[in-house]
Amino acid sequence: MTTGAAAVDYPLPRERNLILGSLLVLAAAAWALLAWQSAGRDDMSLTMGMGAPLFIALWIVMMVAIMFPTAAPMILMFARIYNGKRDRGQSVVPAWVFTCAYLLVWSATGIGAYAVAAGGDALARESAWIMDNAPRFGGVLLVLAGMVGGELPATLAHRWLPGLFPASTQ
Comparing C-alpha atoms, which of 63, 77, 74 is closest to residue 30? 63
Residue 1: per-residue pLDDT: 45
Containing domain of residue 106, as a range?
Answer: 2-127
How many Å apart are CA 11 and CA 108, to the nearest integer? 34
Tell me, yes or no, whether 24 and 72 share the same domain.
yes
How many Å apart are CA 53 and CA 69, to the nearest integer? 25
Averaged pLDDT, 112-134? 85
Confidence of residue 163 (pLDDT cuts 50, 70, 90): low
Tell me, yes or no, whether 123 and 101 share the same domain.
yes
Tell me, yes or no, whether 88 and 142 share the same domain.
no
Residue positions counted in the chain: 170
Tell me, yes or no, whether 87 and 40 share the same domain.
yes
Domains held by the chain: number: 2
Confidence of residue 80 (pLDDT cuts 50, 70, 90): confident
For residue 139, the tally of other CB atoms under 10 A from its CB is 11
For the chain, give the percent of residues with pLDDT over 90: 2
Give this prediction's pTM: 0.56
Tell me, yes or no, whether 68 and 9 share the same domain.
yes
